[in-house]
Structure 1
Amino acid sequence: MAAQTILHVWALEFWSLAASLAQFAIMFALMVHFDGKQTFDGSFVTLNTITSILSTGSRASLLTGVSSCISQANWAAFATKPRRLYDFEMISEASRGPLGSVQLLLNSRFKGGPLVRFGAVLTLLSIATGPFAQQLVRVRQIDFLEEGGSIAQGLSYSKGISSPHYSFHYNPNGSVNVTSATVLCKPDISMRASLMFTLSADIRDVIRQATFECPGTGCLFQNFRSLAICSRCYDISSMLVAKQYMKIDSLSSGDQMEYSATKYSLPNGLYLENEDVSSDYPYSHTRWEPTRDVLSLYGTSNPNKSINSREIDTLIWSQSVIKVDNSTNIWQWPNMSVYAVECALYYCVKDYSFRVVNSSIELELEKERKEYRRHPDSWKLLLGNMESDIIANASRNLAFHPNQSAFRRSDLQLSRDFDKSEGFNISQSGVNTISSLVQDLFSSCLDKKGCPAAVDDWKPPTGYYSYQRAWDVMVYQPDLAPAMWSSENLTARFDSIAASMSNSLRSGDDLNSRFVGKVANPITVYKINWPWISYQLFIHVAAMVFFAISVSIDRQPGSRGIPVWKSSQLAVMSQGALVADVLKGAETLEELETAAKKTTIMLLANGEDRPLMQLGAGETTDETSLRGNSASD
C-alpha cells in the first residue's frame, strides 16, 4: 500500500494520536513552567483543573486511535487462520472499551491474537492516566526572600571612656615633659554585661543576644563581614611538670608539721599545689582538714608572657588554666586527673551568616578571615610635642597599662591590604576599656605583699578555686573562677565569651552600621511530582508502537494485503454471506452467540470467486468449519 494511501485510510487515527500527544506535551510544558511557582486560583480554573482537562482529552484522543487499531487487528486475526466466529464478537467488544477488554483477557477459550491482547491491555492501562495526572500537582510552603530586615555589623568601635590625666612642665624648647600620667577607664556597660552574661550562659543563649530586626517570621543574613573577637584554645597538659616534695608548715601552737605535697607547674610559672592524701592521717570532720585547690589561673595581655599566643599581635587576653577533672575525687590528691589549657581572646574579622526563625536567631556560619591582620602603621604613639620617660619602654601590645595607656595612640586597624587605608578600626578608648575590663574580671592580685599597678606585671597565679571541707564552702578569685571550674569544656566557654563580646562590638558600632538581609515571607508554590508523568509517557509510547504495528501488518498470502476496514459495519455486512447459513434461524442474542461459539471460520481467504461451501462432516468434530472462497481489498 502506497504511503499516500496509508495516510488517507489512517488519517483519523493518526490525527487522534497526534492530538493526544499534543495535549500531553502541553500538560508537560505547563508542569515545567509552574514547578516551583506561586499558586494561582482563578475565578473559574486552577492548574489541577487544566491538568485534568488535558489528561482526559489526551486519553480520549488516544483511545480513538487504539480502538480503531484493535478493530483492524480483528480482521488481521481472522485473515491468517481459522478462528472461532465468536472471537470476532469478543474483539469487537474489546475495541469499544475497558469492559470488553477485560472479558477478552479473562476468556480462556480466546487463543492467540497477541496484537489484540496488546490493544486490550493498553485500553485498561489508560484508565489510570486520570488519577495519575491528579497526583502530578502538589503544593508546598516555601519562604519567598525579598530585601528587608537588618542585623548589627561592626565596622569600627570606640565605646567606653578613657580619661587621661597628666602632670607636666614645659621645656625650654617648647616641648611638654610629662612627669606623671594616669588613665581612668570606664568600659561600655553593654560590653561589661556581655562578659558577665557568659559566666552562666552557653553559646546558643549568647547567639540569641545578637542585635537584629526582622519584620517577618523569618530572615536571612548571609555572608556579611564584621569586626569580631575570636578565641583560640590549646591543650598544654603535656607541658605540666609534676613534683612531689616534703613541706613544713608552722602551727599556731608553735609546732611544725611536715607532710608530703605535689605541685603541677607550667613554663609560665602557673602552678597547682595540694597536700598529698595519707592513710596515716585520714581526714574527717572532727580533725583538721586541708584546703583543696582544684583550679589555678594566670592571665596576661602580653603575648610574650603567654605560652602559645606569642604570634597573636591583636591579643586581648591569654588565660592559662590548671584544673582538676570535675569527675575525679578531689580528696585523692595526687591520684587524680589534672590537665592544663591556655585560651586566648583577640581582635579579628569574621564572616557571619544568621537565620531568624520565629523571632529566634540562629548562627549558620562563622568563619575567621585570617587575611585581615594588624596594620603595621596602626596603634602608633601620637606624642606630638610631648616627651616622657614613662613611655620609654612602652610596647606595641594592646595591654592596658595604668600609666602608659594615658598617652594617645592611633586606632588599631585590621586590614588585608596594607597599601590602602581601609579596614576595621578600634579606637584607643575601645582598646583601653576592653583590656582594663578583661583584666578586672579575669585576674586578681594574690600576692600578700601587694602587686604592681600593671596587671601584666603580676606573678602567677592570678586566680584560684578552692574547696574548704571543714566549712563546706568554696573560695575563689576572681569572679570568673566558678565559671572556669564548672566548665567541662573550656574551649566552648571561651567561644561563648568571644561570641558575646562580638555581639557588643557589632551593636556598638560607631556609625550604627546595619547589614540588610532577606525577609522570608511564606508562600504556597506548586511542586510537580515528576515520577507520575512517566506513566502517561509510557502509555503514549505504547500507543504509538501499537499504531505503527497495526499500519504495517500484512499477513494475507498474495500481494493485495489485508483491507483496512477497522470498525466499519459495512465491512462486516460484506462478509455476511460467509456466515449466513451458520446463523440462519437464530432469533435471540443468546442463540447467535451459541452458534458462533461452535463455528470456526477464516475470513478474507484467497481463492476463486465462488460461493462459500460447508465442509464435510468427516472433516469436523464438535464444530462447524467454514472457509471463504473470495477476498476483497
Structure 2
Amino acid sequence: MASYTPLAHLPPYPEPSHGSQDRSEPENHSTPPESLIEPSPPTPLSPEPEPEPAESTETINQPESTHNLIGSWWLELSSLTICLTSFAAIAKWNWTTRYSEPLITFERFDAASRGAWGSLRLIGTFLQHPHWASLGALTTIILLAFEPLIQIILTFEDQPVTVNGTEHAQVPSIDGTQATEATAFIGRSSLLDAGIWTILEGSCAMGFIPFPGPDGKESKYPFGCGSSNVRPDMGIAAAIWNGFSPLITKQNLWPTFTWGYFDDPPDVSNNSPDANLEMSDQTLSITKYTIPEVSLQLSNYNGKSRCASETDLCPDTYLSAKFTTNPGHTISFRELNTLILATQFLQANESWHDNETTWEDTAVTAQECSLFFCINEYETIIEKSILRERVSSSWNIRTPASYDSTIKEVGEFMAYANYTLDMNGAWPELTDLQISIPNQDYSSRAGNLSQQSFNITQASIMSLLKTLKDGFGLADCTSNCTTNTTIYPALGSSQPSSLMSGLGETNNVSLTFETVALSLTKWMRDREFSTTSVVHGDATMFVVITRVKWIFLVFPAVTLILGIVFAALSIRETHRLKRGAWKDSALVTLACAPTGEFRDRLQAAVATGKIFEVGRMAEVMMEYRDGLGNLVLKKEEDQPRV
C-alpha cells in the first residue's frame, strides 16, 4: 500500500528508536482480504489479503407457463370469433324461418357472418328489437375491441437472483450451452513465496555486524549470507518496472570534465562541472528550498529553465529525493513495522519545466511516500466484463515474534533498527513475516475471509528489496541505511538511477508509488492462478417475472361466456326447426332468392339506387314448399312500390 504525507512543517529528524516491536498501528480502511503491496500518502507497498468472490451480472429470460396459458386462452378467443361468424350465418336462416322482418335484417345477418363491421350494423337492428341473436354480434365486437389491450393483462419485471457456479452452469443460455466455469473467479494471495536462494544451506561464511546494544554497549549479530546470494523473482522485477514505466530512454554518454572551472562547486542541486559549464563566468543568484530535519534540499539558478532538451548540458533539477528502508528515518512512518521503502522528496512545479515561471516564483512540493505490506479486504463485482473493486478494510499489523530469529542479538538489532525489514546485506536466517487481522475484525468477517494471517517468506522480502534498492541505487550497509540526496534529471557526468528516472519522468511521485503498489499487487494475485487459491464468484441473473392482472381478464371471460351461450342457442334453434345449417353459402342464398314479381321489383330498386329503402320497407319470411325455402313478402298489399 502507498501513503503520502506533505512535508510543509516537519518535526525534528527522528533518531532511531529502541522501542518494543509491539506498537499501535493506524487503521487503514480498504475490503475482503489479500496480501498486497500499497503506497502510502505517500505511504507503503503492501501484500494483499484474499478478495471477496467476484460477481458477474447477466440477464436470462426464462419463459413462464403463464405466457403459454394467456397465449392459449387468447388463441381460443380468436377461434371463437371465427365460430361466431359461422353461427351468425346460421342465425339469418333461423331468423327468417321464425319471424317476418324487414329484408334489411336478413342482409345485416349476412354481413355479420363476414366480419365485425356487419356485426356492428346488426347490433343497431337489435337495439330496437332486443333478441338473444344479438349476443353473437356483440361478442364479436367486444373481442375485436379488446384485442389491442391484451398487453395490459401482463406485466414483466426483472428480478435479480444470485446463484453460485454450480447453479449457474445448470441454467440454459440463449444458444442452449453454458460453460461450467461461466462465473467469474479471481486470484487470492494466501502466501508470498518468491525469490530463490542461490547457495546451498550452510555454505555461507559466518560474519558479525556490530550495532549499539540496548545497554549502550556494542553488540554484534551473526549473519550467514548477503543479498547477492538471492536471485530476485522475475515477476517482482517486472511488476516494479511496469509500475515505474514509461521510463526515459538511456541518455548519451558525456565527456569527462574536471573541477578546474570553479574554485568551489556551485550551491545548486546539480553541481556537476559539465552541467554548470556555461555558468562558470557569471554571477548568478540561487534560490534554495531545504528541509533540515531530513537533510534534503532543492536549489536552482533563478530565472527560466535552462534545459531546452534532455541532451543539453544544463544544471536544472526538477526532483530531489532520499530513500530509506528504516522506519526511524522517516517523518510519518516511524511506527510502520511493515515498511518496505520510503522516500522524502522536493519536486518543482511543471510550470518551471515548461518555462511558464521563473525558478524563484515556482511552487515546490514536499512530500513523504512509502511502500509497505498490508492485508486488504476487497469487495468486487464484474459488470459487463469490467472488474470493479473497492478496498473495504486494510490491516498492516505485524505479528509479534514474526520475521525474527532465535538468536538474541538479532532481536536486539531489530529493535535498534526500528524493526526494518532490510537487514542491509547481512542476512541471518529469519522466520516468515506475518501480518494478521485483529480477532475482533476477523470474527465479524469470518464468512468472507479464508484466513486470519498472511505470511511473506524471507526470500520474497530479500528479492523485493534487492530489486528496489538496485533500481534506486541504494547500496547495502550495516545498519540504518538511508541514501544521500538523489536528483533528476542530473544532466552531466552523474546519471540518475533507472527507477529515479521513472519517478522524475512522471511528474507525480505519489501517483507513481500507487501504480507500483497496484502492479505488485496484481502480480501477487495473478501468480495464484496456477494454484487452487482462487475465489469463484456468484452470478447475479435477472429473471423475467411475468405477473397477470387477473382483474383485466374478467371482461374477456364474460365475453367468452356470452359467445358460448350464443353458439349453444344457435345450435339448439337449428335442431328445433329441423332445418339445414346452411351457414353463409352463396349457392344456398341464390337457391332461396325471391321469385316472380318481388324479384322484378328488387331488380328495379337496384337499378334506381333505392334497394336499401325497399329492404327496410319490405317484410319477408321464409316459406317452405316440398322442403325448399323461398323469401317471400309477408303481405302482398305491403309490397313496396318502386
What is the TM-score of this pair, normalised by structure 1? Answer: 0.54
2:34 matched residue in structure 1: none
Measured at CA, do residues 398 and 467 of structure 1 come closer, stay the same or move farther in structure 2, by a change above 3 Å? closer
1:530, distance to aligned residue in structure 2 (A): 6.5
- Does 2:474 match 1:441? no
1:598 matched residue in structure 2: 614
1:338, distance to aligned residue in structure 2 (A): 3.6
CA contact (8 A) 1:66 1:123 kept: no
Measured at CA, do residues 497 and 255 of structure 1 come closer, stay the same or move farther in structure 2, by a change above 3 Å? closer
Q: What's the CA shift string for 1:557-606, capped at 9, x where partnerless? A: xxxxxx955895689999xxxxx999972379978996565344899xxx
1:425, distance to aligned residue in structure 2 (A): 0.6
Q: How does 1:176-255 map to 2 (within 5 A)?
A: 181=223, 183-185=225-227, 186=230, 187-200=232-245
- Does 2:392 match 1:376? no
Q: Which amino acid aligns with 2:298?
A: L
1:424, distance to aligned residue in structure 2 (A): 1.2
Q: How does 1:572-611 map to 2 (within 5 A)?
A: 585-586=598-599, 597-600=613-616
- Does 2:114 match 1:89? no
Percent sequence identity over matched residues? Answer: 17
1:167 matched residue in structure 2: 207
Q: How does 1:283-302 map to 2 (within 5 A)?
A: 290-302=314-326
CA distance in 2, matches of 1:591, 1:529: 65
Q: Which amino acid aligns with 1:349?
A: I
1:31 matched residue in structure 2: 63
1:295, distance to aligned residue in structure 2 (A): 1.5
SS of equivalent to 2:464: helix
1:293, distance to aligned residue in structure 2 (A): 0.4
Please point out which of 111, 116, 120 is paired with 2:141: 120
Please point out which of 262, 267, 287 is paired with 2:287: 262
SS of equivalent to 1:424: strand
2:190 matched residue in structure 1: 155
CA contact (8 A) 1:400 1:435 kept: no
- What runs of 5+ residues in structure 1 fail to find an aligned partner? 1-28, 36-49, 170-176, 203-244, 446-450, 554-562, 575-579, 604-610, 625-633
CA distance in 2, matches of 1:188, 1:597: 106
2:264 matched residue in structure 1: none
1:306, distance to aligned residue in structure 2 (A): 3.0
1:465, distance to aligned residue in structure 2 (A): 1.1
- What runs of 5+ residues in structure 2 fail to find an aligned partner? 1-60, 129-133, 155-171, 210-218, 248-266, 443-450, 580-592, 620-632
Measured at CA, do residues 127 and 167 of structure 1 come closer, stay the same or move farther in structure 2, by a change above 3 Å? closer
CA contact (8 A) 1:125 1:539 kept: no
Measured at CA, do residues 67 and 433 of structure 1 come closer, stay the same or move farther in structure 2, by a change above 3 Å? same
Q: Which has the higher contact order (CA 8 A, sep 6+)?
A: 2
Measured at CA, do residues 486 and 584 of structure 1 come closer, stay the same or move farther in structure 2, by a change above 3 Å? farther
Please point out which of 364, 369, 383 is paired with 1:343: 369
CA distance in 2, matches of 1:191, 1:346: 14
Q: What's the CA shift string for 1:406-451, capped at 9, x where partnerless? A: 2333321122256999521112232233223322223557xxxxx9
CA contact (8 A) 2:376 2:395 kept: no
CA distance in 1, matches of 2:223, 2:173: 72
CA contact (8 A) 1:321 1:340 kept: yes
1:294, distance to aligned residue in structure 2 (A): 1.0
1:410 matched residue in structure 2: 431
What's the Cα RMSD here? 6.3
1:452, distance to aligned residue in structure 2 (A): 5.7
1:383, distance to aligned residue in structure 2 (A): 0.8
Q: How does 1:390-429 map to 2 (within 5 A)?
A: 393-403=416-426, 406-417=427-438, 423-429=453-459
Q: Which amino acid aligns with 1:122?
A: L
1:157, distance to aligned residue in structure 2 (A): 2.3
- Does 2:504 match 1:485? yes
2:18 matched residue in structure 1: none
- Does 2:515 match 1:496? yes
Q: Which amino acid aligns with 2:194?
A: K
1:255, distance to aligned residue in structure 2 (A): 8.6
CA distance in 1, matches of 2:308, 2:338: 50
1:101, distance to aligned residue in structure 2 (A): 1.8
CA distance in 1, matches of 2:542, 2:308: 75
SS of equivalent to 2:141: helix
1:238 matched residue in structure 2: none
SS of equivalent to 1:119: helix
Q: How does 1:52-131 map to 2 (within 5 A)?
A: 54=72, 57-63=75-81, 67=85, 85-94=103-112, 96-97=113-114, 100-102=115-117, 116=137, 119-120=140-141, 122-123=143-144
CA distance in 2, matches of 1:539, 1:614: 53
CA distance in 2, matches of 1:183, 1:88: 116
Measured at CA, do residues 344 and 389 of structure 1 come closer, stay the same or move farther in structure 2, by a change above 3 Å? closer
Measured at CA, do residues 313 and 34 of structure 1 come closer, stay the same or move farther in structure 2, by a change above 3 Å? farther
SS of equivalent to 1:195: helix
- Does 2:347 match 1:323? yes
CA contact (8 A) 1:465 1:477 kept: yes
1:276, distance to aligned residue in structure 2 (A): 0.8
CA contact (8 A) 1:66 1:546 kept: no
Please point out which of 446, 458, 466 is paired with 2:483: 458
Measured at CA, do residues 32 and 90 of structure 1 come closer, stay the same or move farther in structure 2, by a change above 3 Å? same
Q: Which amino acid aligns with 2:374?
A: C
Q: Which amino acid aligns with 2:303?
A: V
1:254, distance to aligned residue in structure 2 (A): 13
SS of equivalent to 1:193: helix
CA distance in 2, matches of 1:127, 1:388: 85
CA contact (8 A) 1:59 1:129 kept: no
2:303 matched residue in structure 1: 277
2:629 matched residue in structure 1: none
1:184, distance to aligned residue in structure 2 (A): 1.4
1:431 matched residue in structure 2: 461
CA distance in 1, matches of 2:477, 2:377: 40
1:455, distance to aligned residue in structure 2 (A): 6.6
Q: Which amino acid aligns with 1:323?
A: Q
CA distance in 2, matches of 1:429, 1:510: 21
SS of equivalent to 2:107: helix
CA contact (8 A) 1:411 1:426 kept: yes
SS of equivalent to 2:489: strand
Measured at CA, do residues 74 and 567 of structure 1 come closer, stay the same or move farther in structure 2, by a change above 3 Å? farther
Q: What's the CA shift string for 1:327-382, capped at 9, x where partnerless? A: 6545532334543444322212345659799xxx9644353642573223423332
1:305 matched residue in structure 2: 329
CA contact (8 A) 1:322 1:339 kept: yes
CA contact (8 A) 2:323 2:483 kept: no
1:66, distance to aligned residue in structure 2 (A): 5.4
CA distance in 2, matches of 1:551, 1:73: 15
SS of equivalent to 1:349: strand
1:156, distance to aligned residue in structure 2 (A): 1.6
Size of the aligned set, in residue pairs, is 468
Measured at CA, do residues 284 and 381 of structure 1 come closer, stay the same or move farther in structure 2, by a change above 3 Å? closer
CA distance in 2, matches of 1:540, 1:350: 57
CA distance in 1, matches of 2:301, 2:615: 116
CA contact (8 A) 1:272 1:296 kept: yes
CA contact (8 A) 2:433 2:458 kept: yes
